[in-house]
Structure 1
């Protein structure tokens, strides 16, 4: 297959690597322009650009795909198919129609649940039992194309967005390679339309959502902490400073009548009372200006005791 690959972040890297390994001819790699990053705000290439250049592939980084000269450049590839994985730019209909066999996307949810920008985060926050990857046709409407294949991953009580992200990226790569094998052999990919009655939207995360409300249940707060790992990271005041919480799980079989946010114990993690009478165990956190630490190491440098309070200002 002559493939145009459109992707930008780490999520897209396993798919591009797998397609190259499978022997496909990647005639163009579309990725977003280099962006300022780090303290020096120097221009930084996307992870996909870095990988593409390692293989000597043609990298194209337009600011938009709506420009006629950009569209002409894409048309000149005479690609068989376009594959999209977290590209981040709107792809006009005229571009979608250029490849002989159309355009297919790797989406990190079990469509039609969680169309949109933050499907992994939203699946954890909602308490879903499972998530996954959907290979789908790309159409002008957001994540609305017919579905080719799916891979399912259970969500456990310790899963974070980072961990699921990595698992789903790997599964998506395998599914896309399998789909391209079928397309090469048969010239078509069977697909099933999405049920519009089952659609939910994974809206973009807002930084305000990272602030912990200790009146919520232990299960809700655990999901919040794990969903916002690695970004934007859940946070709460402690001793007048903003603390970032990286991992927290519910404590089965334990309840408390203490005020929500109260520290109950600091020996096996930091145990905190929650609004439903449940108890949360914080096992990894970070002080302002400090490093991300296990609770046991954190407490070596912070005078934390039962009766102290999370929350407030």
Structure 2
């Protein structure tokens, strides 16, 4: 087979390795190099680095809508195009070029959490299960029929970063299974997605990171997990803005106004919510490093409440 792979971030790297295991990847598409770091130097994507390590040619078009882009893909004579978190929309004319069409590795159990941030949205919503779908791509946003799927349980304290890493590995396994079937002369049977249960995982925005104490503690704890390691939850507490890296929900009955400090001690910093309390375990002060709530308590003796 002649496979063209399209992907950009770390999540796509295990899938690239799976696709390239038999030297069948003839080219890799990835986003153009972007400025990154303090020096804002142009930085290649993780997928580009992984492709270059394997000696695979890399293409980085700004768009796939031009005739030039279509001609370049046609020249590769692909049997299959595999797309994993690429970041560019594939026009219908691009989808029609590979002989077997285009496959997409998507980190949710479709049709739940179509869109850009399925991993974080699943945690934020309190889902207990997620997974990976191998999907036959069509013009709609993650609407294509599903070829293969694998599910896994979301850990009670699992963060967005931890789940991301597990799903990246699972996605590579599902892709490898699909490619194995093709090599054996078996095309996976496409199953249309049901019309019921459709939800959209909109792109994460930094403005969403602010915690609202008028919500239940369970919802805030899920948000803290989902937004770790980015954009990281934050809140105004006791007169200063803190970034909250780890927290758990307590069923505490308190009768205090949401946002009030209930306790600060070795176990954590407890903040009143509309229902229950959020126990913050690790946090970051403005311009400071990551510290435990106990260390924060040592610096804020004025908040020695219920310690």
TM-score normalized with structure 2 length: 0.94
1:205, distance to aligned residue in structure 2 (A): 2.4
Alignment of 1:1-313 (within 5 A): 1-20=1-20, 22-252=21-251, 254-265=252-263, 266-276=265-275, 278-303=276-301, 305-307=303-305
Q: CA deviation at 1:104?
A: 0.4
What displacement does 1:5 show?
Answer: 0.5
Q: Is the 8 A contact 1:64 1:89 kept in 2?
A: yes
Give the whole-Å Cα distance in 2 for the aligned partners of 1:210 and 1:165. Answer: 18
For 2:302 and 2:184, locate their aligned partners in 1 and report how far apart those are by CA, in whole Å.
63
The alignment covers a number of residue pairs equal to 305
Q: Using the alignment, how far apart are the partners of 1:11 and 1:286 within structure 2?
A: 27
Q: Distance in 1 between matches of 2:3 and 2:300?
A: 54
CA drift at 1:208: 2.6
How far is 1:305 from its partner?
2.4
Task: Give how far 1:264 is off.
Answer: 2.2
CA RMSD of aligned residues (A): 1.6
| Distance in 1 of aligned mates of 2:202 and 2:158 | 20
Segments of structure 1 that go 5 or more residues without pairing to the other structure are 309-313
| Post-superposition CA distance 1:136-161 (Å, at most 9, x none) | 01111000000011111212321111
CA pair 60-304 structure 1, distance change in 2 beyond 3 A: farther
Quote the Cα distance in structure 1 between the aligned partners of 2:83 and 2:267.
Answer: 45
Q: Which ranges of structure 2 fall in alignment gaps of 5 or more residues?
A: none
Residue 307 of structure 1: how far off its partner (Å) = 4.6
1:304 is displaced (CA, Å) by: 5.9
Residues 238, 261 of structure 2: 8 Å contact kept? no
Aligned to 1:311: none
Gap change, CA 1:220 and 1:186, over 3 Å in 2: same
- CA distance in 2 between counterparts of 1:206 and 1:245 reads 16
Distance 1:296 1:288 in 2: 17
Residue 126 of structure 1 and its aligned partner are, at CA, apart by: 1.4
Q: Residue deviations 1:29-55, cap 9 Å, x none?
A: 000000111121110100000111111
Residues 300 and 13 of structure 1: CA distance in aligned 2, closer, same or farther (over 3 Å): farther
Q: Is the 8 A contact 1:215 1:260 kept in 2?
A: yes
Cα deviation, residue 197, structure 1: 2.4
